[in-house]
Structure 1
Amino acid sequence: MQDLPDPRSLVNTDYADGSIYSNPELYDMEMDRIFMHNWIWVAHRSDLPEPGNFITTFVGPHPVIVSRDRKGDVHVMLNRCRHRGATVCERKSGTGASFVCPYHGWAYGLDGALRGVPYQEGYSGQLDKKKYPLVSLRVEEYNGLIFAAFDKSIMSLDAWLGRAKPWIDLFMKQGAGWPVKTMGEHKFTFPGNWKIQLENTTDAYHFPIVHKSFLDSVDEETQNTFDFVGGKGFVEDLGHGHSVMVMIPELVDLDENLDAAIPERFLELAEELSKDYPPEKVRQIVRAVGGTGFNLNLFPNLACSMAFFRVLRPLSVNETEIRHIAIGMDGGPESANEARLRLHEHFQGPMGFGTPDDAEAWDRVQRGSLAGRDIAILLNRGLGHEAKREDGNLFSDVSAETGMRAAYRQWLAAMTDEMAAAETGV
């Protein structure tokens, strides 16, 4: 049997070995030890607003169905018939009463229970349908975010999110008093390891360099807003691999500073909204349209990034799928939601000024990391002036690599717990 790579030799406090992006054995370990033993984000509540709604997605490499049954309960189930293994649903989303395997017709309810088997007499009474439901994962929800886990023994989602929860609550204020809803997505793949994108969400250091074309495309007021690398923002370790990067402190809480001047780029929208809403509500909506002033990284696969969800899915050791999910106000003014979509397209869309440049940078990291041997990936920016808050959170300036160090601490913990148990025979 081939020896497994030892993650402890690959990641340290301030550096990582380049092979973390390209070692296939390490990747296989990650799919097991991280994506099978942690909470993985699968959906937002608005994806399943009514009983009978469902979507299909993935938990790591495993295809799953996320459904809301007739009682309103959410289920996450492996998209695999218990008979011969065929997928039982190929639709991205929809509404229905059951999932029927196209191969032999086994039918399952929205809760995964096996409801019907054609020609059941062929089993001579030896088939107990109660023993063969779709395999269900553990499911929990926080403020509209739905997570699933294979490992039913892990800590509660509430404990897992921990100090990230207040930031989730702040992020959801983008509904401007209405619930947040998803409004479509842009999905693409890039030829690189999933951790390259994980690192990116709380990396402000790259912004003025990689996104110069975006900064050149906006007005001077917006340029000044995004000139945050030398500003008063910060990156903070929230525990369990989660981190937050505050870029624009005055936009952290969208319910505050409602008397601030409306940015020039939103004056036309504000004028239109003023026909139906009082001045304070107009300012609240306009602030929500522009998004929050921070990026929140939830280990291992979800970023609540200023004004959208970014979801990563590892496809192989050197290929990753990214979904950029636009969000808006469920019940809010259509003009405001349209404005959010136009902003989303401007940066995150396939013809936008942000996503293509990010993807090019990620591609180059993957290719460049293959050059040479024993050359470190540096994770030490901001380490010299990293400090600790009263609650124990580590933090540093906005361009520090505190968020990356937080993610790799959790990565190492997840990757070594089972290794330690195997070595000791536990």
Structure 2
Amino acid sequence: MADPDAGWSLPAWTYSDPEFFAVERARIFRPAWQIVAHESDIPNPGDFQTLDYIGESVIVLRGDDGAVRAFTNVCRHRGARIVDGTSGCAHKLVCPYHGWTYETDGRLSGVPMKASYGDGFALADHGLSPVAVENWQGFLFVRLADDGGPSVAEMMAPHAAEIAPYRFADLRALGRVTLRPRAVNWKIIGDNYSDGLHITVAHPGLKRLMGDGYGVAASPHADRMWGPIVERPSPNLSERAYQHFLPPVPHLPPERQRLWTYYKLWPNFAFDIYPDQVDFMAWLPVSPTQTLIREISYALPDARREMRAARYLNWRINRQVNAEDTDLVARVQAGMASQSFTVGPLSEQEVALRHFCGRVRDVIPQARLHHAPGTGWSKV
């Protein structure tokens, strides 16, 4: 049966309501895969990366045996955070509160005054709490809860052949993780990412680079957007220089030599795949109207001057795009506060937005209501 709401956006109240946000955290984000790092970011035993989101801190750690594992960054004694910072190296994890010590495989190996905890106390019962981790094409993902949903590999299966030539497993970080706070609901950032209709209106640089070639398609777990770089030189200096300097990439087929491709995965992260580099971006919910964008770029080693120039120019071009998007999402969050707005009609061309809204309504049926229900609806 056709969904009667298929042609409509999510209602405005779902972009600011604290109770709806709490349900999203439980039903959407705890079972969702979140990207942490590339395996090359933790090459040696004891190397770790952390990810903080929805009130949890997760540590992804390479063990002494070379295996990559993930745990909540929480001591099993009194709940203290164990490690600080976004990355580091620790051959043993020692809680700074009482000195409980854990091995790189999560085992509890040392407790001061162990005998004082009684005869029934066993180290084996109090190891770090494990978190599911998946290595997909060299990228490391974690998931707090398993609801039976697909793996990242299964989510990206329809696009596996397209991605294979980019050699994701061989990528290396171009810099450090960048964190950008935004005073908007997380869904607004995702909506904007999947929205192809605004490219011509709000991103003149992308329009100059891609002409009318920008496209959008939706699949069950991943949206795909793409745009070929046109041959006609752009009147903009950075864009024209990018068109000029972008060198041939030996490992890419001809049709991908000058193609920008974007993949957005449910619910809140994306890969931007260029011939010269690959960027990832996740938009992590902080509150109903606060989101933290987390992003980093990766690339294959390439010392050519032309490639260095192309990567720099890519950054300049997309810095302008990000500035334009920052203004757009702020405008939407402000407009959502108006009592005059409930839901908006979606074009048949807005396939990715339609798909996303449908998934949210499936997970949280109250998202079909045009106005917020009374307080406590999530407990009924």
Q: Distance in 2 between matches of 1:129 and 1:164?
A: 45
User: Are the aligned partners of 2:36 and 2:50 in contact in 1 as well (CA < 8 Å)?
Assistant: no
Q: Which amino acid aligns with 1:196?
A: I
Quick check: 1:179 aligned with 2:150? no
CA gap of 1:188–1:375, structure 2 versus 1, over 3 A, is: same
- For the 8 Å contact 2:227–2:259, the answer to whether it is kept is no
- Does residue 339 of structure 1 match 2:312? no
After superposition, residues 344-355 of structure 1 pair within 5 angstroms as 344-348=314-318, 352-355=319-322
Determine whether 1:211 maps to 2:203.
yes
Q: Counterpart of 2:210?
A: 226
Query: Separation in 2 of the partners of 1:250 and 1:115?
Result: 60
What pairs up with 1:316-395 in 2 under 5 angstroms? 316-329=287-300, 331-333=301-303, 335=305, 338-339=308-309, 341-348=311-318, 352-373=319-340, 375-378=342-345, 380-381=346-347, 383=348
- The answer for the alignment partner of 2:262 in structure 1 is 295
Q: For residues 328 and 335 of structure 1, what CA distance do their matches in structure 2 show?
A: 15
In 2, the alpha carbon distance for the partners of 1:292 and 1:114 equals 49
Given that 1:40 and 1:59 are in contact with CA atoms closer than 8 Å, whether structure 2 keeps it comes out as no
Q: CA deviation at 1:102?
A: 0.8
Moved runs in structure 1, 4+ residues, more than 6 A? Answer: 285-288
Offset of residue 195 of structure 1: 0.5
- 3-state secondary structure, aligned to 2:80: coil
Unaligned runs of 5+ in 2: 232-239, 367-376
Q: 1:367 to 1:154 in 2, by over 3 A?
A: same
**Per-residue deviation at 1:156?**
4.4
375 and 23 in structure 1: CA distance in 2 versus 1, 3 angstrom threshold: same
In 2, the alpha carbon distance for the partners of 1:377 and 1:115 equals 57
What percent identity do the matched residue pairs reach? 25
The two structures, once aligned, show a CA RMSD in angstroms of 3.2
Instruction: Specify every segment of 5 or more residues in structure 1 that has no aligned partner in the other structure, as ranges.
Output: 1-7, 216-221, 252-262, 271-279, 384-399, 418-422
Q: CA deviation at 1:406?
A: 1.7
**Correspondence for 1:313:** 284
Q: Is the 8 A contact 1:346 1:353 kept in 2?
A: yes
Q: Cα distance 1:129–1:416, how it changes in 2: closer, same or farther (>3 A)?
A: farther
For 2:280, what is the secondary structure of its paired residue? Answer: strand
How many residues end up aligned between the 2 structures? 351
- TM-superposed deviation, 1:343: 3.0
Instruction: Name the SS of the counterpart of 2:130 in structure 1.
Output: coil
Q: Is 2:371 the partner of 1:404?
A: no
Aligned CA distance change for structure 1 residues 38 and 291 (closer, same or farther; 3 Å)? farther
Change (3 A) 1:16 1:342: same
Counterpart residue identity of residue 79, structure 2: G
Change (3 A) 1:84 1:354: same
> Is 1:47 aligned with 2:41?
yes
Shift of 1:318: 0.2
- Distance of 1:169 and 1:283 partners within structure 2: 10
1:317 offset after TM fit, Å?
0.5
- CA spacing shift, 1:407–1:168, aligned 2, 3 Å: farther
Change (3 A) 1:191 1:28: same
Distance 1:338-1:129 versus aligned 2 partners, 3 A rule: farther
- Residue type matched to 1:159 in 2? E
Give the C-alpha shift of residue 129 in structure 1.
1.3
User: Is residue 61–residue 314 contact of structure 1 (8 Å, CA) maintained in 2?
Assistant: no
Out of 222, 239, 245, the position equivalent to 2:225 is: 245
Partners of 2:359 and 2:27 in 1: CA distance: 11
Asked if the contact 1:53–1:94 (Cα under 8 Å) also holds between the matched residues in 2, the reply is yes
Change (3 A) 1:416 1:47: farther
Of 210, 217, 222 in structure 2, the residue corresponding to residue 236 of structure 1 is 217
Paired residues of 1:23 and 1:317 also in contact (CA < 8 A):
yes
- The answer to whether the 8 Å contact 1:201/1:295 transfers is no
C-alpha distance in 2, partners of 1:283/1:143?
16
TM-score normalised by L of structure 2? 0.81
Structure 1 residue aligned with 2:99: 105
CA distance in 1, matches of 2:108, 2:170: 34
Matched with 1:413 is 362
Structure 2 residue 160 is the aligned partner of structure 1 residue 154: no
Aligned to 2:56: 62
Shift in alpha-carbon separation, 1:210–1:46, aligned structure 2, 3 A: farther
Instruction: Tell me if the contact between 1:309 and 1:324 (Cα under 8 Å) persists in the aligned partners.
Output: yes
Question: What is the Cα deviation at residue 314 of structure 1?
Answer: 0.4
Shift of 1:345: 3.1
Q: Secondary structure at the match of 1:130?
A: helix
CA contact (8 A) 2:180 2:294 kept: yes
Please report the TM-score for the alignment, with normalisation by the length of structure 1: 0.73
> 1: distance between equivalents of 2:45 and 2:251?
35
Tell whether 2:44 aligns with 1:22: no
Once the two structures are TM-superposed, the CA of residue 368 in structure 1 deviates from its matched residue by 0.7
**1:328 and 1:337 in contact (8 A); partners too:** no
Report the alpha carbon displacement of residue 337 of structure 1 after superposing the two structures with TM.
Answer: 6.2
Q: Specify the alignment match of 1:259 in structure 2.
A: none
